Amino acid sequence: MAIFHQLFSIITRGTHTCTIATAAYRSGTHLKIKDKKGIVHHFDYTMKSGIAYKKIAGPHETTPEWVFDRQKFWEYIENQDHSSNLNMAVEFTLSLPEELSIEQQIAMCEDFIQNSFSKRGIITDSCIHNDHLNNPHLHILLPVKNLDGSDCKVDIDGKKVSVQDSFFVHKIREEQAFFINQYLQKNGFSNFVSHLPQDEPRYSEMRPWL
């Protein structure tokens, strides 16, 4: 049965992780980064299973070709600013309807990402994980700064907001529910989900997310 769940998190430099490590784990790839001392750190998750889909997407008419190379993109983001304790990226983790096939889930995710992120000028690195039984979910990782170093801001209902802003997060929740319900109906299911707080499952009913 489809449930609505969204986890929003901020990835900050100086904590236990970095964007390169996160992107490597989510995508099941081998990425690397050189630190200030010239030491190269490798993050090799090529043996990770359960990755059904991975793709970097953005507004193609304005996005340079090199951005679609995961190593080049996240290395560039990491090297934009070397300040410590800097917010580098944000991540959405979204539940996917178990009722839909993997092909239907991918179609739904691509439609959602195109309309909610790419059309707003946001570059995303997205991966679908189905490594836990009956728990398919989508990770959407995006930088908090544009390629030119400016803060990543989008127009939401006539208001310019940061991708870290709660207003933007709430809008994505609303659009997530819309696309899930659209694809459930499109594929013959009568049940639906809601992004409203009272319709979310209690914490004890939620499955773990990784």
- Contact assessment for residue 31 and residue 19, using Cβ atoms and an 8 Å cutoff: no
Give the pTM: 0.89
Would you say residue 66 lies in a domain?
Answer: yes
Would you say residue 23 lies in a domain?
Answer: yes
Would you say residue 203 lies in a domain?
Answer: no
Would you say residue 180 lies in a domain?
Answer: yes
Which helix (H) or strand (E) is 160 found in, with range? strand 159-162
Listed in sequence order, the residues at least 6 apart from 204 whose beta carbon sits closer than 8 Å to its beta carbon are: none
Give the residue, 18 or 163, on which the prediction is more confident. 163
Full residue range of the structural domain in which residue 130 is found: 8-190
Using 50, 70 and 90 to split pLDDT, how confident is the model at 3?
A: confident
CATH code for position 43: 3.30.930.30
Using 50, 70 and 90 to split pLDDT, how confident is the model at 62?
A: confident
d(CA 52, CA 137): 10
Q: Which of 40-44, 86-90, 132-136 has the lowest mean pLDDT?
A: 132-136
Residue 141 region by backbone torsions, left for phi larger than 0, else alpha for psi between -120 and 50, else beta: beta
DSSP states of 86-123 as a string?
Answer: -EEEEEEEEE--TTS-HHHHHHHHHHHHHHHTGGGT--
3-state helix, strand, coil in the chain (%, to 5): 35, 25, 40
**pLDDT tens profile 125-163:** 999 999 777 889 999 999 999 999 999 999 998 899 999
pLDDT value at 50 more than 50: yes
Domain total for the chain? 1
pLDDT value at 207 more than 70: no
pLDDT value at 210 more than 50: no
**pLDDT tens profile 91-106:** 999 999 999 999 999 9
Using 50, 70 and 90 to split pLDDT, how confident is the model at 18?
A: confident
Would you say residue 163 lies in a domain?
Answer: yes
